[in-house]
């Protein structure tokens, strides 16, 4: 952990910049509400995870600099989660455990999203969103909000795939799709 705190260099700055941009996209009001994610701490966390998973998936396709940028985004995200927990008054002894649980949640969600995006399986993506975001598995399939968010995430992946990953690492803002 201490190694990460003292790591310097341009990739750390890239990670912070990209994380800030994905958080901005994840906080757009149209992503929340009746046809979107719940506007709660958990809902916001899940929308950040969804955007991070899509962005990091694209970054990893950019050879070693892309993989380093994806790791830098992950580091920035969990530095932010740690700081947010502390700001909310979580005791120092509990922060590590909570961050670990958040990291486990991230890895599980990101793996499910990555697999569905890799297979271009929007139905599987909607199922994963339904399970993770709404903590449900409907017998008749995912709800309208999950399907809408899956369509959005697929569009984000397509939009990011149209961008040069090296340009994103160099400073071009990643383009996330508009929610339809």
The domain limits of the chain are 8-170
pLDDT, tens digit, 9 for 90 and up, residues 111-164? 999 999 999 999 999 999 999 888 766 556 788 999 999 999 999 999 999 999
Q: What is the pLDDT of residues 15-70, one digit of tens each?
A: 999 999 999 999 999 999 988 999 998 999 999 999 999 999 999 998 999 999 99
Of 151, 167, 164, 45, give the one whose Cα is nearest residue 108. Answer: 45
pLDDT (tens digit, 9 = 90+) per residue, 55-76? 999 999 989 999 999 999 999 9
């Amino acid at each position: 952990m201490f190694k990460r705190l003292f790591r310097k260099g341009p990739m750390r700055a890239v990670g912070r910049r990209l994380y800030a941009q994905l958080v901005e996209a994840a906080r757009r009001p149209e992503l929340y509400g009746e046809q979107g994610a719940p506007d709660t701490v958990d809902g916001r966390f899940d929308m950040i995870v969804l955007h991070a998973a899509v962005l990091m998936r694209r970054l990893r396709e950019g050879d070693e600099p892309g993989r380093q940028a994806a790791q830098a985004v992950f580091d920035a995200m969990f530095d932010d989660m740690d700081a947010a927990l502390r700001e909310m008054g979580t005791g120092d002894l509990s922060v590590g455990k909570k961050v670990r649980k958040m990291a486990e949640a991230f890895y599980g969600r990101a793996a499910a999203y990555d697999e569905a995006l890799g297979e271009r399986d929007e139905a599987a993506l909607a199922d994963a969103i339904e399970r993770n975001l709404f903590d449900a598995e409907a017998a008749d399939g995912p709800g309208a909000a999950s399907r809408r968010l899956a369509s959005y995430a697929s569009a984000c992946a397509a939009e990011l795939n149209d961008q040069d990953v090296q340009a994103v690492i160099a400073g071009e803002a990643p383009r996330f799709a508009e929610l339809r």
